[in-house]
Amino acid sequence: MKVLTVVSHPRVDSLTFSVAAQFTQGLMDAGHETEVLDLHRSGFNPVLWESDEPDWTADHKTYSPEVEKEMERMKKHDALAYIFPIWWYSMPAMLKGYIDRVWNYGFAYGSNKLHHKRILWLGLAGAPLEHFEKRQYDKMIQHQLNIGIASYAGIPDTKVEIMYDTLDSRPEIHEKLLKQAYHLGLHYDSNLK
């Protein structure tokens, strides 16, 4: 399977990038191919301008060259993975801007849907699980990403995996998270259902 792994974090020396490296190693060890798209270092502009605003009157639209390039990249893959920190109980603005611009009307929803079979949303949260469960933030995030985005775009197999307590700097905690990321990649075929 060809998996597009999109990573959103401003620092390459972050835990997010370490998790992404372990996840992609797991994918490759399982025999999958993966391409990593680093949204920050790629120079992607997350701001939606008029040229990429959805045209509700047309079934097909030509978008800006930057967005067309990312749509073509997505078409080359069978499945998707997004790895990001959870900020304000959601994805970072960079990743939301990518979704807004690239998962556009006529490509990801409307007259067309995405062809991808599965998607994994892998979020890193500084707070513990209990904090998220207290006000059901975990369920809110799952609903937004699985139903509001992935299912709406036609992806049948979708899962949110949240890694908690990522601000805990003890080496054993980070080692546990990196091991979890590796296993998510290694078992990508089976871990979404």
Q: What is the DSSP letter of 80?
A: E
Q: What is the pLDDT of residues 35-91, one digit of tens each?
A: 999 999 999 999 999 999 988 887 778 999 999 999 999 999 999 999 999 999 999
**Any idea which residue has 């997505």 for tokens?**
74
**6/47 Cα distance (integer angstroms):** 17
Neighbours of 118 (CB within 10 A): 21
Q: CA 26: distance to chain centroid? A: 17
Q: Report the run of H or E that residue 18 belongs to, with start and end.
A: helix 15-29
Amino acid at 129: L
Q: What CATH code would you report for 2-186?
A: 3.40.50.360
Question: Which among 189, 192, 193 has a CA at the least distance from the CA of 26?
Answer: 189
103-132 per-position pLDDT tens digit = 999 999 998 999 999 999 999 999 999 998
d(CA 35, CA 70): 12
Check residue 111 and give its pLDDT. 87
Q: What is the pLDDT of residue 191?
A: 57
pTM of the model: 0.95
Do you know the residue count of the chain?
193
Q: How confident is the model at residue 17 (pLDDT cuts 50, 70, 90)?
A: very high
